[in-house]
Structure 1
Amino acid sequence: MTENTKIDFIYLSEEDMIKAGVTDMAQCVDTMEEMFGLLHHGDYRMAGPNNDSHGAMISFPDESPFPTMPKPTADRRLMAMPAYLGGNFQTSGVKWYGSNIANRERGLPRSILLMILNDIETGAPLAFMSANLLSAYRTGAIPGVGARHLARKDAKVIGLLGPGVMGKTTVASFMAVRPNVDTIKIKGRGQKNLDAFVEWVKENYPQLKNVHVVDSVEEVVRGSDLVSYCNSGEVGDPSKYPMVKHEWVKPGAFLAMPASCMLDDGMSSDNVRKVMDSIGLYKAWYEEVPKPAHHTIPLVGMRFMDMIDDKLMSESDLEDLGAIVAGDTPARQNDEEIIIMSVGGMPVEDVAWATVVYRNAIEKGIGVSLNLWDTPVLR
């Protein structure tokens, strides 16, 4: 029997990824929902001894004897985010994350991302993929999964802080699961971004007949059924993170928070349901970063972890989105309860969406076939 040692894989550029469906938000939300079910039942692995780590990041010192070594400037990250996902996926992969806020001065995105998808039996590459859109859509899809299970079915109003890429994909996922929404309120910092966002809304969601630019985070929250903070900003001082006050929040509101946020005592109290996209992720983060963790990772979930450590709340006060998706924890139980969800982002999400897009590409003959080798020199 002749061994077949040839290994080919496909390269998918950003245009190829679009042709293969990476911007299909409805399918992305469905894919993320399937992924959360596997997450809840344990059919996955991420990095670290706890199998829940966000990834492995290179850090740079404030001072170095090497003049060419990068400084730890704003949002400078070099990071590998590996994961395995079972179920119908049966793939593994790693997203390589390069980021520097100064990229914007060069006309580049803050982050430049690549994805390698691998066969789990041999470890051979299946695909090498442009991953900026992949990452943006899987991130935005998580609030949509939450809204499907936790938002009121008659939701009409979105309140959004931050009209950037994350804001767009979050709105897209809200609209995928709550298509009867007809109003959006937006707060941003720059008029150019606000104008571009309003045009994007009008072009893609004509059913959003009421588009209002507002001046304060309070106006974003008040009267909104679906709220998301997708802002960017400095990390380190939670008193400077955008606030949510309980008195602003409409009964029955669902808040999905993938960016920095601070909560008042009312929003941290027992009468607000607190959902995490993965409790295991926040536990792993909490082991890895200095305390208080909310100073380093500005998500509301890390505030909850600090509160647990300070005996101000119990881990049993937290609910896991995977358990809700699987039906082991109740979804929305009435029209009055306020629910806030912390969105951290996980490499299993990248693997899930990359697998679906890869299979679409193979089916449609999209991408460039590349050869690793016909016969390896070393074996």
Structure 2
Amino acid sequence: MYLVPERAIAELISARDCFTAVEQVFASMARRSAYNFPVIREAIGHRDALYGFKSGFDRDSLALGLKSGGYWPHNHERGLINHQSTIFLFDADTGKCKAVVGANLITALRTAAAAAVSVAHLARKDARTLGIVGAGHQAGFQLRAVLEQRPFGKVVAWNRTPDKLAALEKIAVDRGLEFQAVSLEELGAQSDVIVTITSSFAPVLENAVVKDGTHVVCMGTDTKGKQEVSADLVARAATFTDEVAQAVTIGECQHALALGAKTEAEIIEIGAVINGTHPGRTSEREVTLFDGTGVGLQDLAVAEVVLRSAIEKGAATEVEM
């Protein structure tokens, strides 16, 4: 069995590798060659933490395993990021554990890659202004990944505490892009693509501020009760997701369905667009929305790439079980 420590991950995989791995596993899911097992995510009654498991199996790549971890909201007090997790990979032929891989950076990279995949396949080709709602740890990863998908010239951003936008501004300015901190109304009026990445339990982005033709990427809702955008925005948009079963239970779509504003049949897997069995965006004025709930297969796909790279580069430690 191999151990790949968290500290080694950054040197073992690129953003392009993550994009390809996530795109391929979404396509495999839509072909029903890969499937996720039911998610377990619970409040543990200690340190206000959420803890759980995401797991799955891909028959094409033979990726089998699980990610264990969750969200510890007070970790900043200890100098740690709030999301903490570890991936366990198993041999699909024998069931033996073949690797334990640090998953904090992998989680950030695969989440950003999912957003990037949705932009690549659903945003208008002439999208030039990117809006970011939220400025937490994950926001920078989202910004870097999405900027690669269109020739954006400007980034506009909003956060409840505007001083936290400085990190996003640096990313934009380092790439030679204009950056502006704006109100949510201004953000909606200017943006061709909007990425929401918050931990909100009430709508932050309202339907009324989003202009026609926008692609909205909702990446923060992954738990029952969370909500980043108004239900009528989900109802208005052509809605896509990583996995429908998660979207309707723990994703952004849960609220629109509860109100009867959207049906499960109206939610399309992004893999169908990747595979060419669904057209995706159907007009320049259509609002599209990606409900990124985060599936275990994303983690496994990226972890498999990391493991191969770690073995090749001598960064994995082999141990006896």
Structure possessing the higher radius of gyration over alpha carbons: 1
Q: Does 1:78 align with 2:51?
A: yes
- CA–CA separation in structure 2 for the residues paired with 1:134 and 1:189: 27
Of 130, 153, 159, the match for 1:158: 130
Per-residue deviation, residues 94-128 of structure 1 (Å, max 9, x unmatched)? 11114221111221111211111111111222221
Q: State the TM-score, normalized to the length of structure 1.
A: 0.78
How far the C-alpha of 1:71 sits from its partner, in A, is: 4.1
- CA–CA separation in structure 2 for the residues paired with 1:371 and 1:202: 48
Aligned CA distance change for structure 1 residues 269 and 46 (closer, same or farther; 3 Å): closer
CA RMSD of superposed structures (Å): 2.0
Where do 1:189-200 residues align within 5 Å? Answer: 189-200=160-171
How far the C-alpha of 1:164 sits from its partner, in A, is: 2.1
Per-residue deviation, residues 271-315 of structure 1 (Å, max 9, x unmatched)? x312222113235x3xxxxxxxxxxx4x421123313xx4x4433
| Matched residue type, 2:41 | M
- CA–CA separation in structure 2 for the residues paired with 1:46 and 1:334: 32
Query: Counterpart in 1 of 2:267?
Result: 318
SS state at 1:222 partner: helix
- CA–CA separation in structure 2 for the residues paired with 1:256 and 1:245: 13
How far the C-alpha of 1:211 sits from its partner, in A, is: 0.6
SS state at 2:281 partner: coil
Of 131, 135, 142, the match for 2:107: 135
Query: Counterpart in 2 of 1:304?
Result: 256
- CA–CA separation in structure 2 for the residues paired with 1:314 and 1:114: 35
- Sequence identity of aligned pairs in percent? 23
Q: Does 1:182 align with 2:144?
A: no
| Matched residue type, 2:19 | V
Aligned CA distance change for structure 1 residues 332 and 86 (closer, same or farther; 3 Å): same
- CA–CA separation in structure 1 for the residues paired with 2:193 and 2:304: 30
Of 9, 13, 28, the match for 2:5: 13
How far the C-alpha of 1:220 sits from its partner, in A, is: 2.0
| Matched residue type, 2:40 | A
SS state at 1:354 partner: helix
- CA–CA separation in structure 2 for the residues paired with 1:59 and 1:251: 38
Is the CA contact (8 Å cut-off) linking 1:11 and 1:127 kept in structure 2?
Answer: yes
Aligned CA distance change for structure 1 residues 92 and 329 (closer, same or farther; 3 Å): same
Where do 1:206-245 residues align within 5 Å? Answer: 206-208=175-177, 210-214=178-182, 216-233=183-200, 235=201, 240-245=202-207
Is the CA contact (8 Å cut-off) linking 1:282 and 1:305 kept in structure 2?
Answer: no
- CA–CA separation in structure 1 for the residues paired with 2:128 and 2:42: 43
Of 186, 198, 213, the match for 1:252: 213
- CA–CA separation in structure 1 for the residues paired with 2:43 and 2:197: 25
Query: Counterpart in 1 of 2:282?
Result: 333
Is the CA contact (8 Å cut-off) linking 2:110 and 2:302 kept in structure 1?
Answer: yes
Query: Counterpart in 2 of 1:35?
Result: 25
| Matched residue type, 1:273 | A
| Matched residue type, 1:244 | E
How far the C-alpha of 1:90 sits from its partner, in A, is: 0.9
- CA–CA separation in structure 2 for the residues paired with 1:150 and 1:103: 36
How far the C-alpha of 1:192 sits from its partner, in A, is: 4.8
Q: State the TM-score, normalized to the length of structure 2.
A: 0.91
Is the CA contact (8 Å cut-off) linking 2:234 and 2:253 kept in structure 1?
Answer: no
Of 203, 207, 228, the match for 1:261: 228
Is the CA contact (8 Å cut-off) linking 1:181 and 1:207 kept in structure 2?
Answer: no
SS state at 2:194 partner: strand
- CA–CA separation in structure 1 for the residues paired with 2:21 and 2:143: 17
Provide structure 1 residue ranges, at least 5 long, that are not aligned to the other structure: 1-8, 48-52, 61-69, 286-296, 373-379
SS state at 1:84 partner: strand
Provide structure 2 residue ranges, at least 5 long, that are not aligned to the other structure: 221-226
Where do 1:335-350 residues align within 5 Å? Answer: 335-350=284-299
Query: Counterpart in 2 of 1:6?
Result: none
